[in-house]
Amino acid sequence: MRKEFSIYLDFVRFMAALLVAISHSDSRALIADSVPFTEHSRAAVIVFFILSGYVISFVTSEREGTPVAYWSSRLSRFYMLVIPVLLLNPILDTIGQTLGPQFYDGKTTHGLAWLRILASLAYVNEIWDMSIMPFSNVPFWSLCYEMWYYAMFAAFIFTKGRTRNWLLAACALIVGPKILVLAPIWVLGVVLHRWRALDRIPETMSWALFFGSIVLYALFQRYELTGYGYAQLGRLIGKHWAMEFSFSRCFITDYPLALIVATNFIGFRNISHRFGSILISLERPIRWLAGLTFPLYIIHQPLLLFFSALINGDPKTHSFYFEVVACTLLTVAIVGTYVERKRKVFKRRISSLLLGLIALRPKNTTGEPMVQ
């Protein structure tokens, strides 16, 4: 991957997480005025899915060519932060609701705490018609999609024949339609990485694709097509069943939105060298910010609510909003920096655990673990 393009993707990744956080900060209990840029949160999630597929395809082709390397990286990335977040989230919510209940009105869940934690640890919150909200952490839903995409991709890459078919069918049967309807968007990221013909697009056309994607996205937002997609789904299958799709209910227009994002990436990949001096000069801060993307995404909502209740200021004053956002971002930076430093150790432990489990598998006549 060209270095300049890699930096660009990291920048886009962080901005997508920031836009999701901004969207969730748009609460009248926190600020009386509407917060700008909140209309981009859905597009940010689509960006995440495409980037996820792209990056996973890249790392499996470059350095994670075995199931152990693949899963130790995926599991360390998710669980090192997910476990403490899931355990601390109900505590923060309880304290926050005591200090400022008005900030939590309709924004958190109660009861069955251990069920919510266990379901979240297994990433089954959004299978079929389930929608288990892990306390105030609304953004957690997309992790439940991504983990199953990881599983299906691993089944496709690391197995063959009947084993592959049975594993893919089992995953599909477990997750149900909600997760499956957005899977093509994740797979689109894989296609962008593996379709080498895209690297040979002429530079003139690449410029046209890059700027054209910006124009198309502006039109997409201008005509509020995300809402239109949900309305169309309701007309096709009825409002009740459309609601059952929960976070996937806009998938009809998510597809063209994904194509717009993909067009942007295709175009920029072949002109990224033209921005080399700017991107490379900003590489260090962009890489650092990109390292905070996952922590920002997974903990911003509980922190926004908690700091709102802790400070408990006047929403009519903008200073209250900025104090809450600043405390949230500072906490994310501290937690993210610490987690990034410790993740390699956690990854090695998971890798050792997986290798130990493989060693316990039945062995064939040559003494090697049986592999299908």
Q: List pLDDT tens digits, range 70-104.
A: 999 999 999 999 999 999 999 999 999 999 999 99
**What pLDDT, on the 0 to 100 scale, is given for residue 133?**
95
Q: Give me the residues paired with residue 161 across strands.
A: none
What pTM was computed for the model? Answer: 0.94
Which backbone phi and psi does 342 adopt, to 5 degrees? -95, -10
134 DSSP 8-state letter: -
Per-residue confidence (pLDDT) for residue 359, from 0 to 100:
84
What angle do the packed helices 251-269 and 183-194 form, to 10 degrees?
20
Dihedral sign for Cα 340, 342, 345, 346, please.
negative
Q: Give the CA distances from residue 69 to residues 61, 154, 288, 351, in Å, rounded to whole numbers and listed in that order.
A: 12, 11, 24, 7
Q: Which two tokens stand for residue 147?
A: 């983990």
For residue 313, report the phi and psi dihedrals to the nearest 5 degrees: -95, -165
Residue 157: count other Cβ atoms within 10 Å of its Cβ: 18
Low pLDDT (below 50) residues in the chain? 371-372
Residue 369 has a pLDDT of 52
**Residue 372: what pLDDT?**
40
Predicted pLDDT at 358: 87
Distance CA 209, CA 252 (A): 23
CA 42, 47, 48, 49 torsion-angle sign: positive
d(CA 145, CA 162): 24
Closest to 259 measured CA to CA, from 206, 191, 207, 201: 191
Instruction: Give 316-335 pLDDT, tens digit per residue.
Output: 999 999 999 999 999 999 99
d(CA 249, CA 232): 10
Phi, psi of 363 (to 5 degrees): -105, 150
DSSP output for 240-279 = HHHHHTGGGTTHHHHHHHHHHHHHHHHHHHTTGGGGHHHH
